[in-house]
Chains A and B, each alone.
Chain A
Amino acid sequence: MTLPPTSSLDAVPEVIEPGAALTEPGIWKKMPKKVYVGAGIVALYILIAIFAPLLAPLDPLEINPVNKLASPSAEHWLGTDELGRDVFSRLLYAARVDIPIGFLGALLPAIVGTILGALAGFFGRWVDTAIMRTADVVQAFPAYILVIVLVFALGQGAGSIIIAFTVLAWVIYARIIRSEVLRVKDLDYIHAARVAGLSRLRILRVHVFPNVINQTLVYLPNDIVFATLGLAAFSFLGLGIPPPTAEWGAMIADGQPFIRTNWWLATVPGLVIVGLGLGLSLVGEGLEERLRA
């Protein structure tokens, strides 16, 4: 990255130049390569999720006890599971469950947490106290226990999982954004906006928010990985999506007893999750390089 000629700024060390602004023209064309590679991987997963019915050779729910635990063959590329269902088809269909839940389970807390964090940091006083003490309460619970309790209370299903993730994960965003807002709030351009008589909401929306939102965007891809892994973990524990719906975590759990004889039953869904995590991590890392200078 080339720096603008800022010799005159040498005397002013305390302000760290923020990274590229998202409003910068053509910013999306100037991302590091890994962002495109990662986005490509993620896009592939999304396409698979969308076109699963066309891509899957067989019905993922069709039980065939006669042909259970078959080895990979021309008909069943990844063999069959203990109920004789086609593993490859199930793997493709599972993308339709894991990906929307993973994305929503990260996006919703990101939105809620960013807004609450910005309000807490900007308005301070009782708003700050109320929001951040609530955050403390959430964080005081062991994370997994909290999700388990919530899923039990709300009933098993995708909606409950997303709500549970939101209740849990907004705290991280709120903390990140609050500290950013506190940093930005005292910069001279905010003072200038106040001297100019702009309203508080306008200052928050136009002058504070765009300069802190980078932090959310950098963290979001990593959080999607967590949400996807989290869903897999809960399904593995039997708390996720109820059977017979195909889901990667549940498939790992189902394949586990047969790890000595049919190792691919648990391994392949695991690798599929790793692949998605890799893609999202690449995006997150690349965004971080570019936006968090």
Chain B
Amino acid sequence: MSFLEVTDVTVRFTVGSRLAARIKGEKPPILTAVDGISFEAERGESIGIVGESGCGKSTLAKAITGLVPVASGSISLDGRELAGKRDQALRRRIQMVFQDPSSSLNPSLTVEKMLSELLRVHQVVPRDEIADRCAELMDLVELPQSLLEALPRRMSGGQRQRVGIARALALEPDVLIADESVAALDVSVQAPILNLLNSLRDNLGLTLMFISHDLAVVRYVSDRVIVMYLGTAVEDRPTAQLFDDPRHPYTKALMAAAPKFGVKKAPGESALKGEPPSALNLPSGCRFRPRCPLAADICEQIEPDLIGPSETQRAACHFAWEENEIPA
């Protein structure tokens, strides 16, 4: 049994007004943001999740942290089920670093007040050690102690993001989810934050879930990468293999679309045709089919499973593997 197990998790939202739909006598449209995702993570492992915006990666993160309810499936941490209601002690073990450092910190609390509230409420340390622990946390995220007295508006984006990390670490979590945590930062500030996350994982044994649309960023911090498309995982493989030899056509297209140094691209020359279809109205069979260069008859009829030669090498495409690669 793995440390963090996500099994067949589905998250649904009702779109639009329930009342309006009821008056019209229709069922309100339901959007399946995350559609039966399964993966496992070991303690200390770093998992990257990539995909276009709208593919459900943030919703998956929110489901794991408990911010949105899970419609079906199970999430378990260390053998304990998280999908229903979870108590404070369990919540503490999964923490999150948010995307936008300008809105992720309470503007009226100083860093010290913000951290000490969490330490106090969760009784992480005895009362008289709270100040010391705040100082330690600042060291951990490489911020000067003087910022403990500062309000968020007096800090730069990079500093705020470090405070956001310190806030997550204050609760001594086992799992840290970073949702686009460097997307809003200058490129020059991104690298130090990524390095910090990497070293925290090594030193604290954190399981890291790194969510991003940026392949380069994910490659830098992850042991394993899950590629998401329209709410499902289309490829789940170790980082090195995935980047050397992508098997799913969507992964290939994503990599082709990523800007490369020294390679000029003509405008309009894109690896992917069109927009992803609406999650409210999925195509039959494989959901990547309408945009896929390999699409064949079988793709229209059968939705491919996420399979592969081993548990750690999986892709959801009928043409991802040679016949002899997949054990029967």
- Nearest A residue to B94, CB-CB: A195
| Smallest CB-CB A-B distances: 8 pairs | A8-B157, A197-B91, A188-B104, A21-B108, A188-B98, A210-B108, A197-B88, A8-B186
Q: Is the CB of A21 within 8 A of B118?
A: no
Cβ < 8 Å to A, chain B residues 45-101: 62, 65-67, 87-88, 91-92, 94-96, 98-101
Given A15-B100, A21-B151, A195-B66: A8 in contact with B185 (beta carbons within 8 A): yes
Answer yes or no: A33 CB below 8 A from chain B CBs: no
Answer yes or no: A12 CB below 8 A from chain B CBs: yes
Q: Is the CB of B103 within 8 A of A196?
A: no
Q: Is the CB of B98 within 8 A of A192?
A: yes
Cβ < 8 Å to B, chain A residues 15-34: 15, 17-18, 20-24
* Complex CA distance for A130 and B168, rounded to whole angstroms: 37
Can you sample 12 A-B contacts with CB below 8 Å? A7-B186, A12-B184, A15-B103, A23-B108, A188-B103, A195-B91, A196-B92, A196-B121, A196-B167, A206-B106, A206-B117, A210-B109
Given A23-B109, A196-B91, A196-B171: A189 in contact with B104 (beta carbons within 8 A): yes
CB contacts (< 8 Å) of B168 on chain A: these are 192
Given A4-B154, A6-B157, A198-B121: A191 in contact with B102 (beta carbons within 8 A): no
Interface residues of B (CB under 8 A from A): 62, 65-67, 87-88, 91-92, 94-96, 98-110, 117-118, 121-122, 151, 153-158, 164, 167-168, 171, 184-186, 189
* Complex CA distance for A11 and B155, rounded to whole angstroms: 17
- Nearest B residue to A293, CB-CB: B153
- Nearest B residue to A208, CB-CB: B106
Given A6-B102, A189-B103: A195 in contact with B154 (beta carbons within 8 A): no
Q: Is the CB of A17 within 8 A of B153?
A: yes
- Nearest A residue to B155, CB-CB: A4
Answer yes or no: A211 CB below 8 A from chain B CBs: yes
CB contacts (< 8 Å) of A4 on chain B: these are 153-156
Q: Counting chain B CB atoms within 10 Å of each CB, which of A21, A195, A206, A207 scores highest?
A: A195
* Complex CA distance for A223 and B118, rounded to whole angstroms: 38
The number of A-B residue pairs with CB atoms under 8 Å apart is 106
Q: Select B107's contact among A21, A191, A197, A198, beta carbons within 8 Å.
A: A21
Given A6-B156, A207-B106, A211-B108: A188 in contact with B184 (beta carbons within 8 A): no
- Nearest B residue to A22, CB-CB: B108
Q: Select B167's contact among A24, A192, A202, beta carbons within 8 Å.
A: A192
CB distance from B150 to the nearest CB of A (A): 10
CB contacts (< 8 Å) of B100 on chain A: these are 12, 15, 188
- Nearest B residue to A196, CB-CB: B118
CB distance from A43 to the nearest CB of B (A): 27
Q: Is the CB of A8 within 8 A of B67?
A: no
Answer yes or no: A194 CB below 8 A from chain B CBs: yes
Given A4-B156, A6-B156, A198-B121: A15 in contact with B102 (beta carbons within 8 A): yes
CB contacts (< 8 Å) of A15 on chain B: these are 100, 102-103
* Complex CA distance for A14 and B67, rounded to whole angstroms: 22
Q: Select A195's contact among B95, B109, B158, B186, beta carbons within 8 Å.
A: B95
Q: Is the CB of B96 within 8 A of A192?
A: yes
CB distance from A190 to the nearest CB of B (A): 8
CB contacts (< 8 Å) of B101 on chain A: these are 8-9
CB contacts (< 8 Å) of A143 on chain B: these are none
Answer yes or no: A142 CB below 8 A from chain B CBs: no
- Nearest B residue to A23, CB-CB: B108
Q: Is the CB of A195 within 8 A of B67?
A: yes
Q: Is the CB of B107 within 8 A of A211?
A: yes
